[in-house]
């Protein structure tokens, strides 16, 4: 019937913009859209959960380089590369508990299993993600130990983009090429360390480590440690280490010092000016002897599998050209999940994936490339006008979630600020859209 319609439309009347869109949509639904999902962490599983629910329009494969699903929540003692030479992806440390309560952290359609605590151990999050994968019967669509090496757009029939993907079985080293109509990139953004240049660092003789490779605090027993960066990892790791170290210095350039209560052996100092073999000098010219430096300086975006034909640019903390921080404006059949920060990641994935799928199945029509680029640039300029640095290109707020989520989020942020040592001892129940209840739980 589509063929007939095409012929009729073609010969009997000029093609209007709407009829072209309608025909394209019909052609698309005649065959299922083949989707490649890169990565089997929370975002990749979320993609699978939605794709599997619409078998009429979609078929898909999830490629995961590690030997299980869960992404960064797959804790391992290993650092560097694994036995097959694949870089260790997880940045989890042994004692990590979530920094948002489980009541507001999960996918909106799949609550967390029952636990007393609100701030759960990382093993509980992995258990949750595996339950999610099992519940939606995703395992048969997942290829574990499969590294995506290359993604390249090519011109298919009727000008449609076909994505050629080279994958490698990391155990056998056997490569394979496959074709897809769309790609959902879910490779995680907390795995490739960002390390600043520090004058004299090559002379420093102590231990240096990035938070990505930090696993446990015992190795810092009785020594002086400088933690560079006061983000969530910096503060959390400083707290853990303070129970073992002699002194811990949190070195940061935040406009205001942290106001939270800190253990007596934790001090705040400005950013590092330079290093010597044994000491660090800070921007206020104070200095200290240090046995170790831990970089808690964040991560870089990294898409080593994209060929130049993908036309993706990374400028600092900005990935371009992406409409709504997600969809490639020139090649709209590829999207990049999870770039925004200051978000609740799991709910964000849930919405991003569904939006992208609707653009693929024709339920949502994207604006033209020019309109998308213009909107994207306007959004970026608006941020700069608000005095945000360019690193905040993908920074978000939480406006559209139910008010109670914002309330718990703000309440926890406040407690973390003022009661860093004990804030994880409280647990929460969401009563309705605007109310929650809290109680103390034993650690
Ligand atoms: P990841 O979990 O990183 O998964 C990406 C997957 O892609 C990995 O499994 C990786 O092996 C795979 N992959 C990458 N490249 C390839 C390739 N080329 N081929 C095949 N597979 C590939 N979020 C919260 O909501 N609450 C918290 O309390 C919280 N704490 C955190 C603590 C730490 C230390 C870190 C690092 C992050 C934390 N996060 C937290 C954020 C967390 O990153 C997100 O919640 C979420 O798990 C990210 O999921 P993802 O799927 O985007 O990425």
Q: What is the DSSP string of 300-344?
A: E---TTB-GGG--EEETTEEETEETTTEESSSTTEEETT--BSS-
Tell me the backbone φ, ψ of residue 296, rounded to 5 degrees.
Answer: -110, 60
**Pairing, β 207-210 against β 313-315:** unpaired
Please choose from 67, 68, 71 the residue to mutate so as to test ligand 1's pocket, defined by most ligand atoms within 8 A of CB: 71
Residues of the chain with pLDDT under 70: 1-30, 397-401, 442-443
Q: What angle do CA 114, 411, 297 make, to 5 degrees?
A: 90
Index of the ligand 1 atom closest to the CA of residue 105: 25
State the pLDDT at residue 236: 95
Q: Are 249 and 290 in contact (CB under 8 A)?
A: yes
What residues are in contact with ligand 1 under a 6 Å CB criterion?
Answer: 38-44, 63-66, 71-73, 89, 91-92, 96, 98-100, 105, 147-148, 186-188, 190-191, 233, 305, 338, 344-346
Look up tokens 């709504």; give the residue: 324
Nearest C-alpha to atom 31 of ligand 1 is from which residue?
Answer: 98
Calpha distance 354→343 (Å, rounded):
17
Alpha carbon 203 to its chain's center: 34
Sign for the CA dihedral angle at 337, 307, 151, 153 comes to positive
Strand partners, 274: 199, 281
Nearest C-alpha to atom 9 of ligand 1 is from which residue?
Answer: 71
Nearest C-alpha to atom 47 of ligand 1 is from which residue?
Answer: 42
54 CB-near residues (< 8 Å, 6+ apart): 357, 361
Calpha distance 352→338 (Å, rounded):
8
Index of the ligand 1 atom closest to the CA of residue 99: 28
pLDDT digit string (tens) for 250-283?
A: 999 998 899 888 999 999 999 999 999 999 999 9
Index of the ligand 1 atom closest to the CA of residue 299: 36
Please choose from 36, 39, 132, 233 the residue to mutate so as to test ligand 1's pocket, defined by most ligand atoms within 8 A of CB: 39
State the pLDDT at residue 247: 98
CA 338 / ligand 1 centre spacing (Å) = 9
CA R_g for the chain: 24
Q: Are 175 and 168 in contact (CB under 8 A)?
A: yes
């Amino acid at each position: 019937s589509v063929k007939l319609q095409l012929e009729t439309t073609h010969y009997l009347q000029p093609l209007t913009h709407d009829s072209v869109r309608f025909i394209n949509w019909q052609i698309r639904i005649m065959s299922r859209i083949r989707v490649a999902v890169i990565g089997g962490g929370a975002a990749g599983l979320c993609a699978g959960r939605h794709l599997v629910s619409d078998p009429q329009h979609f078929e898909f494969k999830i490629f995961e380089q590690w030997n299980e699903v869960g992404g960064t929540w797959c804790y391992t003692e290993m650092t560097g590369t694994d036995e097959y030479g694949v870089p260790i992806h997880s940045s989890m440390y042994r004692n990590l508990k979530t920094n948002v309560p489980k009541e507001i952290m999960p996918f909106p359609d799949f609550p967390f299993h029952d636990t007393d605590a609100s701030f759960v151990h990382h093993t509980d999050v992995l258990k949750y993600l595996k339950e999610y994968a099992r519940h939606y019967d995703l395992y048969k669509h997942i290829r574990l130990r499969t590294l995506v090496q290359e993604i390249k757009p090519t011109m298919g029939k009727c000008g449609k983009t076909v994505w050629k993907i080279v994958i490698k079985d990391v155990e056998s080293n056997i490569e394979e090429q496959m074709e897809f109509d769309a790609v959902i990139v879910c490779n995680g953004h907390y795995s490739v360390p960002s390390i600043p240049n520090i004058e004299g660092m090559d002379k420093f003789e102590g231990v240096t480590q990035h938070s990505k490779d930090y696993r446990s605090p015992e190795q810092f027993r009785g020594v002086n440690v400088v933690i560079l960066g006061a983000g969530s990892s910096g503060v959390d790791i400083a707290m853990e280490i303070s129970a073992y170290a002699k002194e811990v210095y949190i070195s940061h350039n935040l406009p205001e010092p942290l106001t939270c209560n800190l253990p007596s052996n934790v001090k705040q100092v400005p950013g590092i000016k330079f290093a010597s073999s044994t000491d660090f000098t800070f921007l206020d010219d104070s200095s200290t002897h240090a046995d170790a430096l831990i970089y808690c300086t964040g991560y870089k975006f990294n898409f080593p599998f994209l060929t130049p034909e993908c036309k993706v640019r990374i400028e600092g903390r900005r990935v371009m050209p992406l409409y709504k921080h997600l969809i490639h404006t020139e090649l709209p059949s590829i999207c990049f999940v999870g770039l925004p920060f200051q978000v609740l990641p799991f709910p964000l994935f849930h919405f991003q994936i569904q939006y992208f799928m609707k653009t693929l199945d024709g339920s949502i029509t994207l604006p033209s490339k020019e309109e998308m680029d213009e909107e994207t640039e306007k959004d970026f300029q608006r941020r700069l006008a608000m005095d945000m640095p360019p690193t905040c290109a993908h920074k978000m707020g939480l406006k559209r979630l139910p008010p109670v989520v914002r309330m718990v989020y703000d309440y926890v942020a406040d407690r973390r600020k003022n009661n860093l040592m004990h804030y994880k001892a409280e647990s929460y129940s969401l009563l309705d859209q605007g109310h929650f209840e809290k109680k103390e739980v034993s650690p």
